[in-house]
Amino acid sequence: MERYYNPEMETMPVAEIKELQSERLKKQVAHVYSNVPYYKNLMDEAGIKPSDIKGVDDLHKLPFTYKKHLRDTYPYGLFAVPMREVIRLHASSGTTGKQIVVGYTKEDLDIWDEIVARQLVAVGANEDDIIHVAYGYGLFTGGLGLHGGAQRLGASTIPVSSGNTKRQITILQDFGSTVLCCTPSYAAYLSETLYSMGLTSDDIHLKAGIFGAEAWTDQMRHDIEESLGIKAYDIYGLTEIMGPGVSYECSAQSGMHVNEDHFIMETIDPNTGEVLPEGTQGELVFSCITKRAFPLLRYRTRDIGVAFRETCSCGRTFIKMSKPRGRTDDMITIRGVNVFPSQIEAVLMELGYPSHYQIIVDRINNTDTMNVNVEMLPEQFSDKVSVLEGREQQLTEALKSLLGIYVKVHLVAPRTIVRSEGKAIRVIDNRKLF
């Protein structure tokens, strides 16, 4: 029997969703135009007035918001309410340049708590559950986002944050955590540590996990489910739009439902900006129609995905999005073909290689070449040359099939690819293109 945190919204007939979105969008555009001079200028330059936006069908007329705009207005230039109404600030990691700063009013936080509570209920949690929040607490939206939702639900919330893995396992055992919330790679690490301590999933009480904040493959999901004895659910979000909870996976586990009463999602062609029909892969764009402090309109996420509306077995009517399939900003173009390193990573993981790899791009005699160095696991080694060459061949073919172009794969010894503290350096582009 499927349960919903907010049945009225989550199972609203599609026509009513669109009406609701249209109403909210109109109000939001007026709010932004009057209170955010930066975006008002963008609208003026595009020749658009708030009265031109009569509903969702006019959304495409609005100018896009880019990450660059957020950097240019650091820290509070896009805030739409006075600072005294902003009761929370968060920021994103900012791997290139300054951090992206976002703010929330009390009502914004209420919305956030609610949408995360929807995710918790979708994975089968209720007030009797013990939620183990192992996302980092701090400026990062992961920890406090799941915390707010769990508390709103009325479940017992443990603000463990990340790190101190042996202690996490003690807490899992002794506190009886039933739902684990952390990044998928941390879940994998927790499970490795669990087993290295001589324990198994029988020694902990988890029934479900809510994983996000980074890309993860079906193979990783399967491994986590097997090793921890849970059902593993995907959650999507980004700091600029809200934090975790922009969309959420349900029991059907085929795509994530977007909280359409708060966000309008579009998919666009990243090169032309043209809005694409449902079912066509493109860049995901979100418009916040209820947030007051930091309401972005048509924000280009740089995530590539697909939107699709279908009758879901869970009964929710919200549109779904696929797992993001790559990033437009990681994208490199080799011999005219757009290549996303994250797609390569997915192939490597499917074929059983750990995700330590590096892509080296060169231009030799005016032709682009791509070489991929992949770290081997000890058990993949053989005393026979033919076996290793066979592995390289298998990888080369899999990548050719994925990308449509030939890239040479080289197996290398473990730990020869430099590790970095934060984001891994996946691509070394030796071409001097600019």
Partner 1 sequence: MAIKQISVFLENKPGRLAELTDILSEHKINIRALSLADTKDFGILRIIVDDPDKTASILQEVECIFTVALVLAAAIPDEPGSLSRILHILAENDINLEYTYAFITRKEEYAYMILRVEDNETTSAVLTDHGFKLVSQEELFSL
Q: Which residues contact 277 (CB under 8 A, 6 or more apart)?
A: none
Q: Indicate the residue among 109 and 360 with the shorter CB distance to partner 1.
A: 360
Quick check: 357 and 375 in contact, CB under 8 A? yes
417 touches partner 1 (CB under 8 A): no
Q: Indicate the residue among 163 and 414 with the shorter CB distance to partner 1.
A: 414
**Which residue of 83, 413, 425, 428 would you call a contact of partner 1, by CB under 8 A?**
413
- Helix, strand, or coil (residue 36): coil
51-59, 133-141, 143-151, 387-395 -> range binding partner 1 (CB under 8 A) = 387-395
Strand ranges for 213-322 from DSSP E: 231-238, 243-249, 256-258, 263-268, 282-288, 299-305, 307-308, 320-321
360 touches partner 1 (CB under 8 A): no
CA distances 316 to 11, 17, 126, 265, Å, are 5, 12, 18, 16
394 touches partner 1 (CB under 8 A): no
376 touches partner 1 (CB under 8 A): yes
Q: Which residues contact 294 (CB under 8 A, 6 or more apart)?
A: 78, 79, 80, 102, 103, 104, 108, 240, 288
389 touches partner 1 (CB under 8 A): yes
419 touches partner 1 (CB under 8 A): no
**Which residue of 164, 313, 416, 430 would you call a contact of partner 1, by CB under 8 A?**
416
Strand ranges for 147-259 from DSSP E: 156-158, 179-182, 208-211, 231-238, 243-249, 256-258
**Which residue of 411, 417, 424, 427 would you call a contact of partner 1, by CB under 8 A?**
411
20 touches partner 1 (CB under 8 A): no
Q: Indicate the residue among 202 and 383 with the shorter CB distance to partner 1.
A: 383
| Alpha carbons 396 and 391: distance in angstroms, whole number | 9
Q: Indicate the residue among 198 and 378 with the shorter CB distance to partner 1.
A: 378
DSSP string for residues in 343-368: HHHHHHHHTT--S-EEEEEEEETTEE
CB of 348 to partner 1, least distance (A): 17
385 touches partner 1 (CB under 8 A): yes
Q: Indicate the residue among 313 and 382 with the shorter CB distance to partner 1.
A: 382
Q: Which residues contact 194 (CB under 8 A, 6 or more apart)?
A: 169, 200, 201, 203, 204, 227, 228
**Which residue of 34, 93, 219, 382 would you call a contact of partner 1, by CB under 8 A?**
382
3 touches partner 1 (CB under 8 A): no
- Helix, strand, or coil (residue 326): strand
**Which residue of 48, 392, 417, 424 would you call a contact of partner 1, by CB under 8 A?**
392
414 touches partner 1 (CB under 8 A): yes
CB of 369 to partner 1, least distance (A): 15
| Alpha carbons 233 and 161: distance in angstroms, whole number | 19
Number of residues that bind partner 1 (CB under 8 A): 17
**Which residue of 47, 198, 336, 378 would you call a contact of partner 1, by CB under 8 A?**
378
15-23, 121-129, 301-309, 382-390 -> range binding partner 1 (CB under 8 A) = 382-390
Whose tokens are 């790679």? That residue is 185
Q: Indicate the residue among 47 and 378 with the shorter CB distance to partner 1.
A: 378
Whose tokens are 């975790």? That residue is 244
- Helix, strand, or coil (residue 288): strand
- Helix, strand, or coil (residue 38): helix
25-33, 59-67, 262-270, 375-383 -> range binding partner 1 (CB under 8 A) = 375-383
User: Cα-flanking dihedrals φ and ψ of residue 215, to 5°?
Assistant: -75, 145
Q: Indicate the residue among 328 and 371 with the shorter CB distance to partner 1.
A: 371
CB of 410 to partner 1, least distance (A): 5
**Which residue of 23, 170, 333, 381 would you call a contact of partner 1, by CB under 8 A?**
381
User: In terms of residues, how long is the chain?
Assistant: 434
CA distances 280 to 70, 208, 267, 273, 429, Å, are 28, 31, 8, 14, 29
384 touches partner 1 (CB under 8 A): yes
Q: Using CB under 8 A, list all residues that contact partner 1.
A: 376, 378, 381-385, 388-389, 392, 410-416
